[in-house]
Amino acid sequence: MIPSSPQLTDAEWIQSRYDQLNLIEEKRLTAMCHGQLYQQRMKKAFDKKVKPRVFREGDLVLKKVLSFVPDSRGKWTPNYEGPYVVKRAFSGGALMLTTMDGEDFTRPVNSDAILLLGLSPKQRFYRQGCSLSRASVDFDSPKQSGVLKTQSVLQQ
């Protein structure tokens, strides 16, 4: 507050200025608290929608074509190349891939640019660590349990 009227003495003006400076620190802390609460809400909303992707050694995958070189095929240029085999999966989402002939990639590939091949929705369900309440429930045949059948399909 700028003393606009001559009724304020120097002592009153100094006291009002001191009070304002104390309020600025309080407002700054309040704004910081609101910012942290907003970030927590955004993280919670994001984490609610994100589904974990699990890759294991031996999985068949396609790798997204990330080159921006113009191609004569135009919009019919393939978006993915492969298939490749996952040689090693790291915890941060990086994958070491090999070709079907056994040639290794020299650099790891981020799992965001990978499409998992050959899994039915039921197999994806079990790979995410979910389980059904009864082991005898199966979508394909009533004789074999879903867990055992899923594991046998993944081993082939």
- What would the pLDDT profile of 41-54 be if each residue is shown by its tens digit? 999 999 999 888 88
Element (H, E) at 81: strand 80-89
- Tell me what the mean pLDDT of segment 68-88 comes to: 86
Phi first, then psi, for residue 150 (nearest 5°) are: -65, -45
141: left (phi over 0), alpha (psi -120 to 50) or beta: beta
- Average of per-residue pLDDT values in the chain: 79
Q: Whole-structure pTM over 0.75, yes or no? A: no
pLDDT of res. 142: 46
Q: Which amino acid is at 136?
A: S
- Tell me what the mean pLDDT of segment 20-33 comes to: 92
Q: Does residue 138 register a pLDDT over 60? A: no
- Residue 88: count of CB within 10 angstroms of its CB: 13
Side-chain-facing half-sphere of 86: CA atoms under 13 Å? 22
